[in-house]
Amino acid sequence: METNNLVLGIDTGGTYTDAVLLEYESRRVLAARKALTTRRNFAIGIEAVVEGIHLDDPAAIKMVSISTTLATNAIAEGKNKRAALFLIGYDPELIAKFKMAGRLGTPHYAYFDGGHDLYGREKSPLDLPAILTQVNKIKNEVDAIAISSYFSPLNPEHELRAYEAVSRVCDLPIVLGHQLSTKLGSVERATTAALNASLLAVLQQFVIAVRRAMERRQIDAPLMVVRGDGTLMSAEFAARTPVETIHSGPAASAIGGRFLSRLDKALVVDVGGTTTDIALIEDGQVTVSEDGATAGGYKTAVQAANLLSIALGGDSHLRQSAERKLIIGPERVVPLAYLAQEYPQVYGQLKTLSHRLSAQTTADWLEYWFLLREPGDEMLTPQQRKLVKLLRDGPQPLPAILKKLNLLHVGQLDAGDLWREEILGKAGLTPTDLLHVDGRHTPWNVEAAKLAADVFYKFLYRTPEELHEQVWAQMTETIVRAIVSFLTNRELPPPARPKDNDLGRWFFFNSLYDEDPHLESRLRLRYPIIGIGAPAGIILRQAAQLLGTDLILPDHHEVANAVGAVAGSVMVTAELLVYPLMSREGLEVLGYYVQDGDGRSQFDELDDALAYARQTSRKHALGAALQSGADNPQVVLAETADGLDTYRIRAKAIGNPRLTH
């Protein structure tokens, strides 16, 4: 293998971990590997794909970059660490009135006197004694502390004083709101600080695990991490600001799709095993949302790619409702073809099941539970011990589990904690299994997939052809609905044949199914769809036809997310605020402040303040970009008026990642 400058890109998705080896100068893909993601320990899947890529000379690897769903998943699944949030100068009655407490990112929050106003003036004295009392009360109950003071981007004095006091009596990690965002949205800034604090240990452990995997392969190179907007940052920077990795994986997919297709305007649709992610490329760049990323229902102040993620993928669970209607997802399960490959006894069980009369069994017999790992017995309830002991003999269908444990209902199994801790896994019939039946994707046990599908046909009273057609049509409709909703920023009504006089609903439905005897309607997307992910060519082709556009499947589209992990640039933004020094009565401007991170400078004239802010923001952005791994970064300045004689001076430093030599 050529030993020029090589870079290794890794993406950890909800189902698969992908890796690509690229020649940096030509950006040519030399090798690609996929492995199942081990969500309880991402490092296992990462080691598997790294081991799968043959390296003649590990020293030729000059950079490793990784995109990860770790932060997003940890927040959504409640697996982030416990963080305490100290709110200085916030109004408890206002938070309660508008029901904002649930948006703060942690249930462990407390209010304290202090904070500033919109001119950076102290609103009330900081109550340090109350803060220290609270620290002593909770320091053994949480893993980190976040501090957010009212209007701290204009004056962080109270956050800094609280930090100094707390750090003297407590060795927990402490996060300050003004260091993460200069936006004045107080709740979003507090949420961002709380989530960042809760993710510190999670991402630090992840970075350590990746470095160990690199050491085992004797790879000595810079480690970069993809931000939620698709740009890169050093692993050290990511470990301090893990909240910035929210939406890292989908952003990398969009970057990779653009890089491989070389299209400057397109819609990127990434069909994974767990989700389908949609992003827009304009002028060769992934569009970015200025509103702040949302994860697990929490709105943050973090800049991230503008995207939509829906719970639909190749491993979505196929089930039937009580009315025998087809349900696809939203839960992701292990395909039965894979389970039977790993556990041959499952194939025998499915064979026996297929010979039963439909009156003797139900579709629940296609839902299998199995052990992912051994738990510590001391953590289990008596009922959980019985369940774990039973599953040590191998995967079992859910009805068989209930029968063997003499239970009547799944709720009696007390399995909630076992799912959350990823001790148990679940398998079932999926679109991936149907692809095995069709012969279009057959890496695992094809016969097991056929047996499971045959059983499912009986219960839905469908022929195989009817069922397959219904699954692909339903998935296509869901994706088209998501694309239309994403591009129009409008919610569509639930999928159903229109029975009312809603012309918009009729138009959408008739565009998909062409049922009106008199009128034809069509949706037309103005640019092509770039398909990303292994099932993209199968699942997206009909969606592209319905939208009147082309489906582009670039070479290596199945691992484009890993390509995107190394195709991005390093970008650092430094933003300074310039705002007036007002007289005590608030009627006269006496001068101007420049708020520079933790410090503040005062000027008599606005021009002098702006000149200082421009020079200082440029210096900060350049230094931070170099520290974050940029090679020869270029700086661009932008100024915006924020009202009330307040200005934002933003310096953006952009450069290619620096390789080892």
Structure tokens at 531: 């398909």
Counting beta carbons within 10 angstroms of the beta carbon of residue 397, is it exposed (0 to 12), middle (13 to 18) or buried (19 or more)? buried
- Identify whether 328 is part of a domain: yes
Q: What is the CA radius of gyration of the chain?
A: 27
Place of tokens 């030729």: 60
Check which CATH number belongs to the domain holding 616 and give it: 3.30.110.70
Residue 193 sits in the same domain as residue 328 = no
The three-state secondary structure class of 129 is helix
- Number of separate domains in the chain: 3
90, 150 contact by CB (below 8 A): yes
- Identify whether 271 is part of a domain: no
Angle in degrees, CA 97, 98, 100, rounded to 5? 115
DSSP 71-84: HHHHHHTT-SPPEE
Residue 574 sits in the same domain as residue 454 = no
Overall average pLDDT of the 409-419 stretch: 84
Residue 461 sits in the same domain as residue 576 = no
Most confidently predicted of 73-77, 328-332, 592-596: 592-596
Overall average pLDDT of the 371-397 stretch: 86
Q: Give residue 152's identity as a one-letter amino acid code.
A: S
Domain that holds residue 446: 316-466
**pLDDT exceeds 60 at position 661:** no
Overall average pLDDT of the 627-638 stretch: 92
For the chain, percent of residues with pLDDT exceeding 70:
96
b or e along 425-456 (b: 16 or more beta carbons within 10 Å of the residue's beta carbon)?
A: bbbbbbbbbbbbbbeebeebbbebbbbbbebb
Residues 6+ apart with CB under 8 A from 53: 8, 19, 21, 31, 33
Q: Give residue 94's identity as a one-letter amino acid code.
A: L
**pLDDT exceeds 80 at position 4:** no
Residue 322 sits in the same domain as residue 461 = yes
Overall average pLDDT of the 3-30 stretch: 85
Distances (CA, A) of 347 to 158, 337, 340, 366, 434: 64, 9, 5, 12, 16
- Identify whether 602 is part of a domain: yes
Residues 6+ apart with CB under 8 A from 458: 358
Q: Give residue 67's identity as a one-letter amino acid code.
A: S
- Identify whether 288 is part of a domain: no
Could you tell me the pTM of the whole model?
Answer: 0.84
Structure tokens at 631: 């090679």
* Mean residue pLDDT across the chain: 88
**pLDDT exceeds 70 at position 341:** yes
Residue 180 sits in the same domain as residue 320 = no
From 469-473, 543-547, 641-645, the region with the lowest mean pLDDT: 641-645
pLDDT at 231: 92
For the chain, percent of residues with pLDDT exceeding 90:
51
Overall average pLDDT of the 638-656 stretch: 90
What CA–CA distance (Å, rounded) separates 465 from 164?
Answer: 68
- Identify whether 560 is part of a domain: no
pLDDT at 498: 60
What is residue 514's DSSP assignment?
Answer: -
pLDDT at 1: 42
Helices (H), 217-288: 235-240, 248-261
Structure tokens at 233: 């940052």
Backbone angles phi, psi at 268, to 5 degrees: -95, 125
**pLDDT exceeds 90 at position 27:** no
Choose the final residue of a domain: 410, 444, 466. 466
Distances (CA, A) of 1 to 13, 25, 46: 28, 15, 22
Overall average pLDDT of the 575-581 stretch: 94
pLDDT at 359: 57
Residues 6+ apart with CB under 8 A from 90: 111, 115, 148, 150, 186, 190
Choose the final residue of a domain: 199, 227, 261. 199
What CA–CA distance (Å, rounded) separates 432 from 430?
Answer: 5
Higher pLDDT, 3 or 113: 113
* HSE-CB for 36 with a 13 A CA cutoff: 11
Residue 455 sits in the same domain as residue 577 = no
Confidence category of residue 2, pLDDT binned at 50, 70, 90: very low
Nearest of 422, 417, 421, 446 to residue 433 by alpha carbon? 446
Residue 322 sits in the same domain as residue 180 = no
Choose the final residue of a domain: 143, 171, 199. 199
- Identify whether 416 is part of a domain: yes
pLDDT at 412: 84
Confidence category of residue 225, pLDDT binned at 50, 70, 90: very high
How does pLDDT run across 517-567, given as a tens digit for each residue?
A: 888 888 899 999 999 988 898 889 999 999 999 999 999 998 899 999 999
What is residue 334's DSSP assignment?
Answer: E
Strand-strand pairing, 232-234 and 223-226: antiparallel
pLDDT at 495: 62
Distances (CA, A) of 156 to 91, 117, 272, 420: 18, 11, 43, 38
What CA–CA distance (Å, rounded) separates 209 from 205?
Answer: 6
- Identify whether 455 is part of a domain: yes
How does pLDDT run across 420-454, given as a tens digit for each residue?
A: 777 899 999 999 999 999 888 888 999 999 999 98
- Identify whether 237 is part of a domain: no
How does pLDDT run across 480-509, given as a tens digit for each residue?
A: 989 998 998 887 766 666 666 777 778 887
Instruction: Give the torsion through C-alpha atoms of 289, 291, 297, 298, to 10 deg.
Output: 120
From 82-91, 288-297, 457-466, 527-536, the region with the lowest mean pLDDT: 457-466
pLDDT at 659: 86
- The H helix count followed by the E strand count for the chain is 21, 31
Strand-strand pairing, 276-282 and 266-271: antiparallel
CB atoms within 10 A of CB 162: 27
